[in-house]
Amino acid sequence: MKLNVHLGDQRVGQLRYFEGSHYFEYDVRFLRGGLEISPFALPLERGVSKHSNSAFSTLPPVIADSLPGKFGRTVILESFILIWLVLLVLRFLKPN
């Protein structure tokens, strides 16, 4: 699985998942800008960095911090369930 990581309109790099670990590589254009988004966990350098720390679900911490926490995931899940129920009811109310 591959995921492009953006900061605003700018592509920061690419995150990949393979065999239980995440790998991150900065985009060359982002490297030229000199902005360090996470100096300790994602040093601003060429090459692929491996991340397998289970405390962050094997994600680089700066990326894990951008994801919703337990409460946020619950809100999202409940919203999807509500939408699904509304669509299900509308489907049965729709005349043939």
CB-CB contact of 49 with 42 (8 Å): yes
Residue 72's identity, in one-letter code, is G
Task: Return the pLDDT at 96.
Answer: 63
pLDDT digits (tens, 9 = 90+) for 15-71: 999 988 899 999 999 999 999 998 888 899 999 999 887 666 778 888 888 878 888
